[in-house]
Amino acid sequence: MTVPTLALNDGNAVPWIGFGTGTALFYKDAREAVHVAIQNGFTHIDGAQVYTNEETLGTGVIQSGKPRSELFITTKLYKLQPGATPKSALQESLKRLKLDQVDLYLVHNPNNHVGQLKEVWKGMEECKKDGLTKSIGVSNFAVEHFKEIFEVASIPPSVNQLELHPYVWKALQPVLEIHKEHGIVTSSYGGLSPLFRGESGPLNEVVESIRERLQATRGQPVSDSQVLSKWLQQKGVLVITTSSKAERVREYIDTTNVPDLTAEELALVERAGSLLHQRFFQGNWLSE
């Protein structure tokens, strides 16, 4: 099955769903998980320097036997060591990944580069111009971080990856407006957190009701996870998710085949999410 793609503002395209090698794989050997993900349909693998598993990620890609041309590989810049630049950091990542180029390189966290964001972004642009990455973007950026880099940017970010699910959708509107203005793709991590990390909340009943309707329409099983992932997909969001189980990996890929939520159902999810503001990762820089 071909995974649908999202158009980036630099003319490239990204698969709408990616397999993340953080969270459960943080500091761990990622080769088997990456191999399983690719064998079961994922073509987009999302890594980062801070996960400290780029080397095994690269090995998993090789062991999968999938041609490099059919894969989309992301990594992210961590804190810069003295004398290092985004370019030199990416060159080290490429050695670990056993690649000549990544498809997407993100500034992982603006708080790692306080007072240096402008310089860091110019370094990211250099990486793209020199062909070390096809696209560049950011992660965990709020409005003020965009304002800072836009003072010097000649290339806008293609992606902003951040915690995104219905419980933060309302608070994220100022950031999403910037994304819309500049054609930046919104990428979600922790998109299924309301189902797995929180206690029963206002989303639960709505998701279950939609799941039952979708399952009856499809005539095949539909999971709660697929309901939320489908909601994100219909919002034009790039979804990053993960699992150690092959059946769950196949379920994520199968979300593409789940019928669309109706306009009313999309609105119901958004309305239920607006009743609770809750983040599950990092510091809560989003206000109500």
The residues near 47 (Cβ < 8 Å, ≥ 6 apart) are 21, 22, 30, 53, 54, 57, 73, 74, 75, 76, 97
d(Cα 115, Cα 239) in Å, to the nearest integer?
30
d(Cα 107, Cα 111) in Å, to the nearest integer?
10
Strands 13-15 and 5-7: antiparallel
Considering the candidates 27, 51, 167, 252, report the single residue annotated as catalytic. 51
d(Cα 91, Cα 104) in Å, to the nearest integer?
14
Place of tokens 């860091």: 120
Q: Is 182 annotated as a binding residue?
A: no
Q: Is residue 35 within 8 Å of residue 256, measured between CB atoms?
A: no
105 catalytic residue (yes or no): no
- Residue 273's alpha-carbon distances to 265, 267, 276, in angstroms, are 12, 10, 6
Q: Is residue 157 within 8 Å of residue 110, measured between CB atoms?
A: no
The residues near 247 (Cβ < 8 Å, ≥ 6 apart) are none
Catalytic positions, please? 51
Q: Which residues are annotated as a binding site for substrate?
A: 108
